[in-house]
Amino acid sequence: MYVIGIDGGGTKTTGIIATYKGEVVAKATVGGTNINSTGKKAVQAELVKLVTNLKESAPDDFKQVKRVFAGMAGAGNTSNQEALKIMLLSLFPSGVNITIDHDAITALYSGTIGRPGIVQIAGTGAITYGVNQIFERARVGGWGHLFGDQGSGYAIGRDALEEAFKARDGITKPTLLCELLTKHFGKDELPDIIPNIYQSENPKKLISSLTMLVMEAVQQDDITAKKIIQKNGAELGIAISTVVSQLFTQGDKAISVVLVGGLFSRYDILKESIGQTIKEKGVRVEMIFPKILPAGGAVVAALLEEKVDIDEFFLETFNRTN
């Protein structure tokens, strides 16, 4: 039996044809398919391209595909899920079962390989998403940078700018962030960086990228930067603890938390503040990182929907043939 797993993001979309044993027979990558930001026509064009590429790569295997599972950014509501499903239905024979779900599921299963747990995604934005043993779900965050995304790269970058300008105005004590920001933008004075931010094509992404300056300041023992990391790490810890309490009965076994996103490239700096908050909340978790690609998580989800048990050789086979 063959399945297709699709991981649809804002900048790229990956699809994989795999067997029930985890053997990858075809893989293709196209552009972004977030229906909220890309638009229906553009998303449909990319999905057509993706499926066509997969079909051309393994035509005989494609004919035997039984299930498609697509974890898609922007598929958090019913209307978007229905629209995406209609697009994919037109690309496959009538006997193929198609499931559209939130891309957090594919991210979760990339670490737990189909087992219950929580995924903490923290990049430009942030969302905490969990699934328990009876497939109940809970979510915290992911509501966008204007009134959510606490603990994200954007939140840290925004806090860095706020604290730097407070220090510049004399409201708070001096911080290394002022120097790092002006140097980063190639300016002499902190106010000179304002046009670079407000006139940027993507201010959210730009502000998020300033996280690296905060990490650098932490390594140089800057008190303000440490407070920013403590604050945002605590937000992530609160979100994780909340989802644990909503979904799981805490026993002896720690709950797996998959850490996904660019922010966790510096987990060494975030680890203490996240862990301390979780400890204070009285829950036990085990932090893990993805073991396979997110599209592999979609393959796992597809197999689970077909009632296929994921055995111990799946992970080895997938990573060997991917």
Among all chains, which residue has been given the structure tokens 């992970």? 315
Q: How many CB atoms lie within 10 A of CB 227?
A: 16
164 neighbors 278 (Cβ within 8 angstroms) = no
Q: What percent of the chain has pLDDT over 90?
A: 87
Domains and CATH numbers, the chain: 2-113+291-321 (3.30.420.40), 117-290 (3.30.420.40)
151 neighbors 121 (Cβ within 8 angstroms) = no
Single pTM value for the model: 0.90
Rounded CA gap, 295 and 72, in Å? 10
Tens digits of residue pLDDT in 117-136: 999 999 988 999 999 999 99
Work out whether the CA dihedral 122, 128, 134, 135 comes out positive or negative.
Answer: negative
Rounded CA gap, 95 and 68, in Å? 11
- Output phi, psi for 95, to 5 deg: -80, -5
Tens digits of residue pLDDT in 268-319: 999 999 999 999 999 999 999 999 999 999 999 999 999 998 988 999 999 9
Q: pLDDT grade, residue 81 (50/70/90)? A: very high
Rounded CA gap, 127 and 141, in Å? 5
Q: pLDDT grade, residue 103 (50/70/90)? A: very high
Residue 5's DSSP bridge partners are 16, 69
